[in-house]
Structure 1
Amino acid sequence: MLTTSRRGLLRAGGVAALLATVGGGSVLAQDKRMRFLWWGSQERADRTNAALAAYRQTAPGVDIVGEFTGWSDYWPRLATQVAGRNAPDLIQMDYRYIFEYARRGALMPFDDDLGKALRIDDFGQQNIDSGRVDGKLYGINLGVNSVTMGFDAKAWEKAGVDAPEPGITWDEFADRAARMSANKPKPNFYASADAGGVEPAFEGWLQQDGKNLYTDDGKLGYAVGDATNWFAFWDRMRKSGACVPADVQALDQLTIETNALTTGKAATAFFHSNQFIGYQALNKAELSLGPYPTRSPDAPSGHYLKPSMLISVSSGAADKEAAVAFCNFLVEDPAAAKALGIERGVPASAKIRDAVATSLDATATKIVDYIGAITPRAIPLPPPPPTGAGELQFVLKRINEEVGFGQKTPEQAGEDMVKQAQDVLARG
């Protein structure tokens, strides 16, 4: 081979063979380069980069380049990359978006890999199926979580008001929050962030009335009166001083870093349980977490166990086999579990839960205990979001801010929310 002419080598593809012969195989192996895009805080980035470093020890011929951004910027960025045929190979995916991306052909189905390169049998069928769209598996569950209310219990105590406990009603929460803010332990501090523009909180409110954001056939699941009542509740909260004013809430970009709890403006916030690790990392005060307030003692809890997020592979991934291998590592390898912890949710894999259980710190243990506490009253997974539904979380945020700044009444906001939601869903 070493005596073959250069022209012959090029014609036969022999350059690769030559490099392999003289020790260049490791160079070629580095050609397996993939991009992994996720949203999240710096805490998540640090943990994910540690997992990527662990994977390099397992697969030294694969180089995975990580990219991350905040939630609000993530979806426009991903949409732009997909439209420009520059999608990342590995995509962190959300339940409300996976249907849209899968149905548009942007994601690769995993079905042929199940039981082979993808060994997730110990997830349990429900956790496996949480990544299915129209019967095919497009996402792998990265962790189980639910919505929660996180709060600084000592701040409530300093104000002489009991912190919210399981079973408190929304009206009781509003009353206590107003009293807490009136006796605030420091200036420009409030009992709660304004969750009127937080879609998971609105969803929980609806579910306590036996409704959902969407119907089984992809229509809007609520009426004008439902949206009006929601905006009116938070309008009362603002006017009583129970939650932060509109100018403070407008600074929240739906990230942990910009939430009023983290910026020191509020003692309470509404988010997903897996985010508790990120919140605690950025808050000096010790935080607690508990279920949402309820509409009444007999109402549904409004909590369901969902995939906190999923990992998907782009349909245009350069090396699908290598991408699937990494996905399996991320959810089924103890080294990845040690790096990730439960920041992305409680692992779906039974063996991985056992592997991380002994190494959990106090913050992570609170999350596991919380998921265990709400599970007995958890409601079924709601109907999947239809195409275009991801846009509506930003519509909700904007309309709530318009109420906050006095540009709309809750009644006008309720009508606008339903009309704009229906228009978005009609466009598909």
Structure 2
Amino acid sequence: MTLRVSRRNFVAGGAALLSLGALGAGNALAQDSRLRVLWWGSQARADRTNKVSQLYQSKNAGTSINGEFLGWGDYWPRLATQVAGRNAPDVIQMDYRYIVEYARRGALAPLEAYVPAKLKVDDFDRSQIEGGSVDGHLYGVSLGANAAATVLNASAFEECGVGLPTQATTWEEFARMGAEITRAGKRKGMYGLADGSVNEPLFENWLRQRGKALYTAEGKIAFDLDDASAWFDMWAKFRKDGVCVPPDVQALDKNDIETNTVSIGRSAASFAHSNQFVGYQAINKDKLSLTNHMRIEAASKGGHYRKPSMFFSVSAQSKAVDQAVAYIDFFVKNPEAIEILGVERGIPESVAMREVVAAKLDPQGKMALDYVAGLGDLVGKLPPPPPAGAGEAELALRSIGEQVGFEQLSPADGGKALVDEVARIVGRG
């Protein structure tokens, strides 16, 4: 059975996580030669991950690794269900927006005792170590650095005689480009842009340019009704002017590479993360390109930041914590493993491994590396880890954004609904 993300099953999973602390973490130091690894991502990521696991097994006789992957939307209900059922995988791929919640509910094992003897992260950027830390304990090892990005079908832009956007392009200018592509009609059913109103990293980037944020350092909502209403209003105008895909097309996007509107040929531009570019190009026949999110105004400061693309964490239920730590260390510090992984999960955090991968990158990997390295003044400070409930709040943006898209809510009513719902979610503590 395929699990779908809904606010109901997210909350149910969260409640189950909360009960974990009362059950206890189990014998985390018991020895076991079998490891279960769970991650989200595309088939390209799975192929690379499985090759690294095979390499690890070849160098560690007696250790077997069972890997499983799902799309983003199916991943979090599955993980919450497994944690609640005390059947969590040993190694868990963890996201920045969820790590606080899982750590504070006792689902993850602290790892700082393994540093530096068994978990050699001494040449990682300090901010990335802090990104995987909660309340003074290390719960996640960053698998790479990335930044939010705009994915462009460069071939489609060229066919329509539209130049690619640059770091100086504003949203107003980008909207004109999108409208030109839609009107050109070079490809049946293709619009200029995806509907980004439901995309949280894009919304966050836009907020940061306005001097705001998603959350305060104390875990409270950091944007207001005017911000949210203006955001939905901008996208309502884009839909009206044919700049972006209509809501029924955007609804086909299940928040993964395979169903993104660029990948299914329904838009010439969409929104993702830089590390995903390798996966996008792997399944797209057209030539793709990567650029930043647009500026609100020509003089606007950028809203980007360099973030941990994802972490590997260890389940507090694991009976093989030592082995799980050894596998993670191999994943981020073994040169052969790094050559296999490339930059599909982001630019390696280890300085030494960054040099290894830079020498072996294919054109797609090099584009992702150059993109993150070349953001310049568009990059700001990494925000604090999102509060407990941030994952549910992201679902609220998607749900309310869809309602505005289908004109079930006005932009103003959608803005109020979003602020009220996010404040309620993160206010639960």
Larger Rg: 1
My pick for the range that moved more, 170-179 or 196-205, is 170-179
Runs (5+) with no aligned partner, structure 1: 1-29
Contact 1:193-1:243 within 8 A present in 2 as well = yes
Per the TM alignment, residue 134 of structure 1 is displaced from its structure 2 partner at its CA by 1.2
Give per-residue Cα distances to partners, 1:246-297, cap 9 Å, x unaligned. Answer: 1110011101001000001111010000000111011101101111100123
**3-state SS of paired residue (2:380):** coil
Alpha-carbon displacement from aligned partner over 1:49-89 (angstroms, at most 9, x marks no partner): 00100101111211110011000111111111111111111
Alignment partner, residue 280 of structure 1: 281
Match of 2:299 in 1: 298
Deviations 1:187-242 (A, max 9, x none): 21111111110110000000111111001111001001101111111111111111
Structure 1, 164-173 or 271-280: larger mean CA deviation: 164-173
Please report how far the alpha carbon of residue 177 of structure 1 lies from its aligned counterpart in structure 2 after TM superposition: 1.1
Q: Which residue of 1 aligns with 2:118?
A: 117
**Cα 1:222/1:241, change in 2 over 3 Å:** same
Within-5 A mapping of 1:21-420: 31-420=32-421
SS in 1 for 2:270: strand
> 1:415, 1:376 → 2: CA distance?
32
Q: Which amino acid aligns with 1:258?
A: T
Question: What is the CA–CA distance in structure 2 between the aligned matches of 1:313 and 1:204, rounded to whole Å?
Answer: 30
Q: Which residue of 2 aligns with 1:16?
A: none
Task: State the Cα deviation string for residues 71-109 of structure 1 (Å, max 9, x = none).
Answer: 011111111111111111100000010010011111111
Cα distance change on mapping 1:305 and 1:299 into 2, 3 Å = same
Secondary structure of residue in 2 paired with 1:417? helix
SS at match of 1:95: coil
Count of matched residue positions in the alignment of Structure 1 and Structure 2:
400
CA RMSD after TM alignment: 1.3
Q: 1:306: Cα distance to partner?
A: 0.2
Asked if the contact 1:146–1:371 (Cα under 8 Å) also holds between the matched residues in 2, the reply is yes
After TM superposition, give the deviation of residue 383 of structure 1 in Å: 2.3
Helix, strand or coil at the partner of 1:196: helix
- In 2, Cα distance between the equivalents of 1:221 and 1:69? 32
CA displacement, residues 277-336 of structure 1 (integer Å, 9 cap, x when unaligned): 111011101101111100123322111000000000011111111111011000000121
- Cα distance between partner residues in 2 of 1:378 and 1:315: 35
Gap change, CA 1:99 and 1:236, over 3 Å in 2: same
TM-score by length of structure 1 reads 0.91
**Does structure 1 retain, via aligned residues, the 8 Å contact 2:305–2:382?**
yes
- State the partner residue of 2:19: none
Q: Given residue 275 of structure 2, which amino acid in structure 1 is its aligned partner?
A: N
Report if aligned partners of 2:302, 2:377 keep a CA contact under 8 Å in 1: no
Letter of the structure 2 residue corresponding to residue 319 of structure 1: A
Q: Does structure 1 retain, via aligned residues, the 8 Å contact 2:191–2:244?
A: yes
CA distance in 1, matches of 2:94, 2:80: 12
Give the match's secondary structure for 1:407: coil
Q: CA deviation at 1:375?
A: 4.4
User: TM-score, normalising length from structure 2?
Assistant: 0.91
Gaps of 5+ in 2: 1-30
Distance of aligned partners of 1:263 and 1:170 in 2 relative to their CA distance in 1, 3 Å threshold: same
Does the CA contact (< 8 Å) of 2:151 and 2:290 recur in 1?
yes
State the SS of the aligned residue for 1:270. Answer: strand
User: In structure 2, how many angstroms separate the alpha carbons of the residues matched to 1:410 and 1:207?
Assistant: 20
Match of 1:14 in 2: none
Amino acid at match of 1:232: D
SS of the counterpart of 1:165?
A: coil
- Contact 1:243-1:266 at 8 Å conserved across structures: yes
The letter for the 1-side match of 2:63 is: V
Which shifted more, 376-385 or 235-244? 376-385
* Distance change >3 Å, CA 32–CA 363, structure 1 → 2: same
SS at match of 1:271: strand
Task: Report if the CA contact (8 A) 2:198-2:401 is conserved.
Answer: yes
Separation in 1, partners of 2:128, 2:402: 36
User: 2:154, 2:77 → 1: CA distance?
Assistant: 36
Q: Kindly state the Cα deviation for residue 31 of structure 1 after the two structures are TM-superposed.
A: 4.9
Please tell me the residue identity of whatever aligns with 2:140: G
